[in-house]
Structure formats: C-alpha cells, structure tokens
Structure 1
Amino acid sequence: MKTRTLLYKEVQRPQPFIWLVFLSLAALMWYSFIYQILLGNQFGSKPASDATVIVFWVILGVAFPLILLKWTKLIVEVHEDGLYIRFMPFHLQYKKFLYKDIKDCKSIKFSPLTRFGGWGFRVNFKGETGYISSGKQGIELTLKYQTVVISATNPDELIKAMDIKNVL
C-alpha cells in the first residue's frame, strides 16, 4: 500500500454553542425520562407513551451527546496529491480533492448560517457543498462542476501547504 506524505493537518471540533443546543435537548430528554419513566408522572399535557419517551431518551439524551462530544470532528489534511477531508463519524473514508481536479482555491470569510443554513455537511441552493465545523473562515475550492467550502482555523496556512506542490 502506498503511503502519502502529510504536508498539513488540522482537526476541528464543533463550536461550543452547538454543544449547548444538543446538551439542552439532552437535558430535556433526561428530565422527561426521569419524570415519566422513573417517577411515574405524565410529562406534558399530551404525554407520549413510555416506549416513545425511552426511544427519544436513548437517541437524543444519550447517543447524540456522546457522538457530538466524543467523535464529531472535521479532519483536513494536505498530501502531495491533494486535499483530504473527513467529517467524523459521518464519513467512513476520506473525501479526496485531487490537485488535478481543483481549478481554484482561495481563503474566504463567510457566515455558515447565511451561506449554508448552519454547520456540518451542507449543500446550499446554489449547489455549493460545505464541510463546516467551526468558525467563519475557510477555503473555497472551485472544481470542474462544483464549489466546495471547507472551514479552516488557519486558511492561509492550509493554502500555503497546498501551494507547495505548485499545481494550483
């Protein structure tokens, strides 16, 4: 198996306010689980069944917070043949953007909320794809048939690492 030379690596975690949203939702699920299942009271004016409360508690109260806090991260790597990204735990393999397929690359400042409707793996109405974990800066790759935006904590260093190959 051929090994690639790593020229640059950046690992991004979700922004703290996203954690706050998920942890608030998790807290509500824990409260409803304790109140309805453990204490035997009805939660709300139109309570869900116990099975529904348990399912929502497992998914939104346990699984999502663990996934968000423990495993969610965006890994951006520059190798001699291109840019590789992986949005864990959603991508099983790295997504490759080979230099031969990149027409242009530039550092940008953008609003994830207005351009893509939020953070994560996104596609907007213009057909642009976004891999956004944190911050308001990143790089914009112009490929043959699409535009890709990748958040970066240090976009200039990322572009500099890509320029080492002098292929852009």
Structure 2
Amino acid sequence: MAAKILFSETQRFKQWWLWLLLIFSAFIPFFGLYHELQKPEPFADAATSTGLVLALVVIIPTVALFMLLRLETRITEGGIAVKLFPLHLKFRQFSWPEIEQIYVRQYSPVSEFGGWGWRYGFGGKAYNVTGDMGMQIVFKSGKKLLIGTQKPEAAAEALKQAWPVAQ
C-alpha cells in the first residue's frame, strides 16, 4: 500500500522575464534566417547562415526544455519525494529516518544557489523554479537539499503532520 500523500505541489517556470528572454533569443535567429531567404542569393554568407542555424539548434531545445520542466513535490507519511521532470524521470525519495532536520524557510535563489533550476551552492543542492520559499532538508550525512515551494504554509503543516520533530 502506498503512503498517504499529505502535500503535493507541481510548479513550472512562469516568470514573464524568462519567457520574454527565451522568445527574444529565438526570434533573432528566426528573423535572420528569414532575411537570408529573402535575398536574391540566399545563404551567400555561409558563416552567418551556419551561425544562425546553430543558434536555432541550441535555442529550440532550450525553449522546449523550459516548456516541459516541472518541479513535483510530495510529502507523505513515509518521507518526502521530489522530481524535476524531464531531468528526473522518477521521484527521488527521502525517508524520514535519513533526515536530521527539515523546515520551511525563505532563501535567496541568486545569492545562495546562483538562480533557479537544479542548482548547487554553498548551502547544498536546490530544486527550485520560482520564488524564494522552500523546504530546507538537512540529512544525517550532513548534506543539504532545498526544495522550492509556492505553498509554504501548506508544506509546513504537512511537515508537522508527517514528521512531528519538524519545527
């Protein structure tokens, strides 16, 4: 029997400035290729044309990745699970006995982890997609993991139910 889910959250990258940057960066090589095709002799400058095609080869998968990326978090009676799809195809499970401390806190994504996503920083590893609130996990091994949340109150309440030691 599966453990009862006390908290579940799915987050996506929804920052307007990120999507503006991605769309703008994709627009430039598309416009350049369109302009090349309108010339009497398209692709006369092979270096420029190759550069535009290479830019699209990088930008299109990057935009697709951001469209697919989602952070899924679950708190159950047995532990906490996280998946950053499509980078993780299965949930990463962390059982309560391997956790020394867990609590919800505010953090600085840029100064502590260098931004959002699957990040490593001085404070350990982080999975976050937006905002500045997260569940800080300190493992008995000494390693740290921060999982971003847009529902800090609900996460804190679920932690109190699942792991009474959590503060």
CA distance in 1, matches of 2:113, 2:158: 26
Instruction: Quote the sequence identity (%).
Output: 21
Task: With the length of structure 2 as denominator, give the TM-score of the two structures.
Answer: 0.84
Cα contact 2:76–2:162 (8 A) shared by 1: no
Equivalent residue number for residue 26 of structure 1:
26
Is structure 2 residue 54 aligned with structure 1 residue 79? no
Of residues 90, 98, 103, the one that matches 1:101 is 98
- Check whether the contact 2:100–2:138 (CA below 8 A) recurs between aligned residues: yes
User: How far does the alpha carbon of each residue in 1:20-48 deviate from its partner, in whole angstroms, 9 at most, with x for none?
Assistant: 222221112222232335642678xxx73
- Unaligned segments of structure 1, at least 5 residues: none
Secondary structure (helix, strand or coil) at the match of 1:48 reads helix
Q: Aligned Cα RMSD in Å?
A: 2.2
In 2: Cα distance, 1:95 partner to 1:104 partner: 18
- CA distance in 2 between counterparts of 1:79 and 1:37 reads 56
- One-letter amino acid of the structure 2 residue matched with residue 63 of structure 1: P
Q: Which residue of 2 aligns with 1:134?
A: 130
Find the aligned partners of 1:123 and 1:77 in 2 and give their Cα distance: 21
TM-score by structure 1 length? 0.83
- Given that 1:82 and 1:162 are in contact with CA atoms closer than 8 Å, whether structure 2 keeps it comes out as no
Q: What's the counterpart of residue 64 of structure 1? A: 62
Superposed CA deviations along residues 80-111 of structure 1, whole A, max 9, x for unmatched, are 21111111111121111211111111221111
